[in-house]
Amino acid sequence: LPLTQKGISQAKVFGDYLASTNIHVNQFFCGPLIRHREHSKTIVSCIEFSFDNVIIDDRLQEIDYGSWEAKSDDEIKANGHERDLENWNKHAIWPPKGIWGETQEELDTRVKSFLDMLKTQKSDNTIVVITSGGVLRSFHTQLAQDDKTSTIQDTKVSTGHVSRIQLNEGRWKIDFWNTNPADL
């Protein structure tokens, strides 16, 4: 699905934030979905970065939600998955095998591969990554294994919100998570 008008506005707020703080973006990655690319295009139009240099990385593809794909929360609950949905939304607990088209292990493997690649980049690089909420939950779980000081429990990132992480001496640190860019 394409990015909504609200999504475009949210991306512009973040792009304007980056421009106003003079943060120099060295690298920019996004998932392959149309909305990932449109979100990225909107942000880079606000800063000195060309969309031609945005790296589209399949490891940032959204989760395959299988039988939940394109269904509202009410429809998922009506199909008998109220507890599974609550566990996913509140605790990032994967539904039982067979409900989704991808396993948690498959997602975690591709996210770990992406994070390991980021660790090979120059330590002073500022990197922007655009992906979807399900993927970000896996990011958080893996980042929190490094960042023992983080008190952030809710792994969810709302649509259009941002998170900031840093790599210090080979370990991830979560600076903030699920923040509205208008509040930065």
pLDDT in tens, 105-137: 999 999 999 999 999 988 889 999 999 998 998
pLDDT band at 170 (very low <50, low <70, confident <90, very high): confident
Inter-residue contact 161 to 130 (CB < 8 Å): no
End-to-end CA distance of the chain: 28
In a 13 Å sphere around the CA of 94, the CA atoms on its Cβ side amount to 20
Q: Reduced to 3 states, what is the DSSP secondary structure of residue 18?
A: helix
Could you tell me which residue, 22 or 9, shows the higher pLDDT?
Answer: 9
pTM equals 0.89
In terms of DSSP bridges, do strands 162-168 and 171-179 run parallel, antiparallel, or are they unpaired? antiparallel
Q: Are 63 and 132 in contact (CB under 8 A)?
A: yes
- Give which of 62, 61, 41, 36 is closest to 52, Cα–Cα: 41
Q: How far is CA 55 from CA 115, 134, 160, 177, in A?
A: 15, 20, 20, 23
37-80: per-residue pLDDT in tens?
999 999 999 998 999 999 999 999 999 899 999 899 999 999 99
Tokens in use for 64? 């395959």
Please report, as a single letter, which amino acid is at residue 38.
E
